Chains A and B, each alone.
Chain A
Amino acid sequence: MGSRTVLICDDAIFMRTMVGDILQAAGFEIIGEAETGVQAVERYLQLRPDLVTMDIVMPDMGGIDAVREITKQDPAARILMCSAMGQQALVVEAIQAGAKDFVVKPFQPSRVLEAVNRVLAAA
């Protein structure tokens, strides 16, 4: 089986790079990146990745609205929310919108990989 594909959505290059490095080191293939919610939706529909990592605060369209749009088009989409501390209410909203799990920044590689594997295993 080929490596699992991932779309990374975050407005910060720093965060996309860090998440990408963690996942690539674990054997995942990063097939795309998005820095706005609108881009996230477009890229998802175009690339159909096995997993999406989604930031909450992004320009144009936030991560929660992007989750809504993606799951409207593909209810089976596997989306992992990346939240900051203190965003519990937003995480709950994201889960209700269709996200499968969440991981809290700052990222620890082991926590990120645990969450990613939980999401993929639940599919």
Chain B
Amino acid sequence: MDLARYAELFRTESREHLAEIETALLALERDGDPAHIAVLFRSTHTIKGMAASMGYRAVEHLSHGLETLLDALRSGARTVDADVIALLFDGTDALAQSVNDAVEGRGHVPSSPGHNGCDSPQLAAGSDRCAARNRVTAQWAADRCNARRNASRSASRNATRPHAGAGIASTGFGQPRTQRLDGRGPGRHGRTTD
């Protein structure tokens, strides 16, 4: 199977889901409604599945780590607090960068020990070590950004959210949902989906 022809579709749809994640995270931070966790889980899960299909291991592992944390929140094994919210924002930023890196050929950075090991039960249990690892992952991704972009994103995030850090909105996520790969409308195979 020629995966290259799916790469741009992967990036576009991943960006849409990252925008949904950002919106749901802001809402979760604002009102704490557990309904937002289902949205976060679904979008993260979808990115993971697409990344696995493309062989983008770094994206797959990072989204799996986030998914595991979200599953812990969903089941009540871990509660939503400021630290978790910050962790989710950091992980989402890292995921956004990882998606771009993967599509542009910089993404086969690995499942190395320092990259992301937070797909383990410890994260679900709230392990500080795993949380720290995720922050290392976020830092790893942040280091890959150029200085101009970092400054721009920081300014954007600081303007909208007190936790600061890099913001997804300024990276171009949140564009209108792409309908089909070939641009022929919603039903690539002849029928519409609505």
Contact = CB atoms under 8 A, between A and B. Distances in A.
Given A11-B46, A57-B46, A105 B53 contact: yes
Contacts of B10: 14
Chain A binding site: helix, strand, loop or mixed by DSSP? mixed
Contact of A59 (B1, B42, B52, B194): B42
B124 interface: no
Size category, B interface: 20 to 34
Contact of B6 (A17, A58, A84): A17
Interface stretch (B26-34, B83-91, B156-164, B183-191): B183-191
Interface string B165-178: 00000000000001
Most buried by B among A12, A16, A106: A12
A80 interface: no
A17 B188 contact: yes
A24 B55 CA distance: 23
B181 interface: yes
Given A12-B50, A33-B187, A18 B45 contact: no
A33 B41 CA distance: 23
B96 to A, nearest CB: 17
Given A17-B180, A58-B42, 8 more contacts: A12-B13, A13-B179, A14-B9, A14-B13, A22-B1, A30-B190, A33-B191, A33-B192
Interface of B: 1, 6, 9-10, 13, 41-42, 45-46, 48-50, 52-55, 178-181, 187-194
Pick the 4 closest A-B CB pairs, nearest first.
A30-B189, A106-B53, A106-B52, A32-B191
